[in-house]
Amino acid sequence: MASLIQRRRIIALLMTLILLLPLVAACGEAATTPTAESAAGGATATPASESPTEAPAATATTDNAAQATEEPAAPTEAPAEPAGDDSKFLVFGGSGEPDSLDSMDTTTGVALIVTRQMEEGLLDFKPGTLEVVPKLATKWEANDDATEWTFTLRDDVTFTDGTPFNADAVVFNFKRLLEPDFEYGYRAEGKTYAIAPDIFGGYAGEDNTYYKNVEALDENTVKFTLTRPVPLFPNYLAAAYFGMSSPEAVKKAGAKYGTPEVGGVGTGPFIFERWDPGQSVTLVRNEDYWDKANAAKMPGVVVRFIGEAPQRLAELEAGTIDFTINLTADSRQKVESSSNLKIVDLVPFDIAYLSLDMNVKPFDDVKVRQAISYAIDKNEILDAAYNGVGTVADDFLPDGLSKFRPDDLEPYAYDPEKAKELLAEAGYPDGFSTMVLTDGTELPLELWYMPVSRPYYPDAKTVAELFAAQLGDVGIKVELKTEDWGVYLDNWDAGAKHGMVMLGWTGDYADPNNFLFTHFGPGNEKEAGYSNPELWELLTKAGAATSEAESIRMFQEAGKMINNDLPRVPIVHAPPVLAAKQTLEGWIPNPTGGESFAPISIQK
């Protein structure tokens, strides 16, 4: 059922078309709309004047030699405005294009930033913190051993399509996420729900899963039953992945739910209006939002896809966007020196890392993995790519979880001679330049870097070039490769990215397992070949511990096991560079990398 604002927009669109018809006939051809570069672009950056109007093809690009960093492109004009007074809308410069607007079927921050505006969860975080607070649930309680969690829901909420929000809606959403045989999961048509194994250990019925059942006790009460104690279960549910979608909207759209054609339908302060692939997502204010005190201050939001960090800065300086994220480290001084712009500070809660595919040779040899870690000069990377802002990472846990780090960890300090010794011991005295897949195929050694800016890798290509140079110094020769961001992640999830892969993580909630179990649990076996059941059991026990002292002890033990096995090399913990116009008010970034835009306002 269309909302009042949607009906008004349809009328406005019709009137606009009637007025424009004579002009179109007189001109004889349609005008071309300038667009910002798609965040889903390939490895080679496209100048603004050549920006595509559609998402580019998902073709991998190889860089055989390091290339100079490109100069910032001139700002493009904002995408053509949809019908209505969109000049009053908030404009956010996003660092990439979402792969889906179904919060349960994405793992990407660029998507979750958008879904948070529409699809609310049972719980949320207090602005700017990791403190769990009520959202669609008003209270929650556990049984004695934290294997059953009962949530009381608000009784005055409906989805923006008119569907009631109730316990049945919650059950519907978690069944489609966690139960492979659920009728409305649409897995056969391509839905994957890849986050489930990372957070819950697996899908329903699998050996390592935490999930057993979800049921409606009455219209406004829902109970989760888990296979083992999970004291931090409320923290899980505050993560952006668990936004509630309208069951009727999901049923109606099927596997297309979350795509540009359909978008998403939730209970949030904004309503999906349109997704122009390669350009932007437009949201309008939910005039019937249930939380009147926290309704959106702006009439709408345009989330533009601007993949290159220098381009986002140029757009911000030109005034075509109001605020943005993930700028390069050298942008900080430029923003701070501007009277029209400001830096918005955020303490880092992330990790940038380099994954090594243990399914292929020679990465199945721990000495080779250790050699790579010794060959990488993390301080040089921090200085060159982050302007020295941040900290070198010796393990995966950020400073906010430092008490869970091992006290006596032996870090892999930069030591190229040690790296050469280990390579010689592993049978590669002259280094290597190829990798051998499980079927015996020998290929050039690949190092994959992401084509978009992320909080932990704001300029991934520059870091990749530094990796290549440092590894080359010890005889390891790589080919730099990248591809469309959505394909990059799909291939990663499918275990189809080999060699070395640059990735990172911004924590979803304050739990060491959100960093450790997520990256070294059973899900990594498919992604990159790491399997350690002893570690999985230890992390599971640590997460279920009833005393903090026992939890700390087990997490520290797990950290040492990970450091010894080294399936992934931690690089840095770095704060993202966030910036806005001086006149923008109400933006309180969250450490998890996403927050509601409802409190944000700017005079227009």
pLDDT of residue 524: 78
Contacts of residue 416, Cβ cutoff 8 Å, sequence gap at least 6: 374, 375, 470, 473, 474
pLDDT of 56 reads 34
> Do 535 and 412 share a structural domain?
yes
Return the minimum-mean-pLDDT range out of 77-86, 382-391, 518-527, 567-576.
77-86
Q: Return d(Cα 91, Cα 575) in angstroms, integer.
A: 23
Residue at which a domain ends, from 227, 256, 285:
256
Q: Where are the alpha helices (DSSP H) in 121-240?
A: 167-178, 195-200, 233-237
Token digits for 369?
A: 């993995």
Whole-number Å distance between alpha carbons of 225 and 265: 27
Convert the pLDDT of each residue in 7-51 to its tens digit. Answer: 444 444 433 433 333 333 333 333 333 333 332 333 333 333 333
Residue 468 and residue 375 in one domain: yes
Q: Is residue 27 part of a domain?
A: no
Judgement on whether residues 338 and 203 belong to the same structural domain of the protein: no
Q: Is the pLDDT of residue 476 over 70?
A: yes
* Residue where a domain stops, chosen among 224, 256, 288: 256
Considering the domain architecture, whether residues 201 and 217 belong to the same structural domain is answered as yes
| 486 band by pLDDT with thresholds 50, 70 and 90 | confident
Per-residue confidence at 208, pLDDT binned at 50, 70, 90? confident
* pLDDT at residue 558 greater than cutoff 60: yes
Are 224 and 244 within one domain?
A: yes
Same domain, 463 and 544: yes
Contact present, 165 and 158 (Cβ < 8 Å): yes
In a domain? residue 263: no
Does residue 431 sit in the same domain as residue 474?
A: yes
Same domain, 423 and 331: no
Comparing CA positions, the residue from 348, 343, 392 lying closest to residue 579 is: 343
Measured in whole angstroms, how far is the alpha carbon of residue 285 from the centre of its chain? 24
Q: What is the CATH number of the domain that holds 471?
A: 3.10.105.10
**H or E element in which residue 63 lies:** strand 61-63
pLDDT at 93: 98
| Whole-number pLDDT of residue 65 | 39
Q: How large a percentage of the chain has pLDDT more than 70?
A: 86
Residue 302 inside a domain? The answer is yes
Arithmetic mean of pLDDT, 158-181: 98
User: 296: Cβ–Cβ under 8 A, 6 or more apart, which residues?
Assistant: 269, 270, 285, 286, 289, 597, 598
Report pLDDT for 547: 87
Based on the domain organization, do 504 and 362 belong to the same domain?
yes
Is the backbone peptide bond immediately before 47 cis, with ω within 30 degrees of 0?
Answer: no
Please check whether residues 314 and 452 belong to one and the same domain: no
Q: Structural domain of residue 237, as residue ranges?
A: 113-256
Q: How far apart are CA 221 and CA 363, in angstroms?
A: 49
CATH code for the domain of 314 = 3.40.190.10
Predicted confidence (pLDDT) at residue 257 exceeds the cutoff of 60: yes
For residue range 53-108, list pLDDT tens digits in order: 333 334 455 554 333 334 445 554 444 444 457 889 999 999 999 999 999 999 99
Phi, psi of 534 (to 5 degrees): -60, -40
Q: Rounded to the nearest 5 degrees, what angle is found at the Cα of 552, between the Cα atoms of 548 and 553? A: 120
Query: For the chain, what percent of residues have pLDDT higher than 90?
Result: 79
The answer to whether residue 15 sits within a structural domain is no
Q: Burial level of 407, CB count in 10 A (0-12/13-18/19+)?
A: exposed
The pairing of strands 442-444 and 434-436 is antiparallel
Quote the pLDDT of residue 80: 41
pTM given for the model: 0.78
Same-domain status, 437 and 424 = yes
- Indicate whether 228 and 324 sit together in one domain: no
Domain total in the chain: 3
Assigned domain for 268 exists? no
364 versus 50: which is more confidently predicted? 364
Over residues 426-450, mean pLDDT: 97
Q: Which one is predicted more confidently, 429 or 16? A: 429
With vertex at residue 462, the alpha carbon angle to CA 460 and CA 468, rounded to the nearest 5 degrees, is: 100
The answer to whether residue 76 sits within a structural domain is: no
Q: Is residue 12 part of a domain?
A: no
More confident residue, 75 or 121: 121
* Average of per-residue pLDDT across 414-436: 98
Report the sign of the C-alpha dihedral through residues 161, 164, 165, 170, in that order.
Answer: negative
Q: Has residue 68 been placed in a domain?
A: no
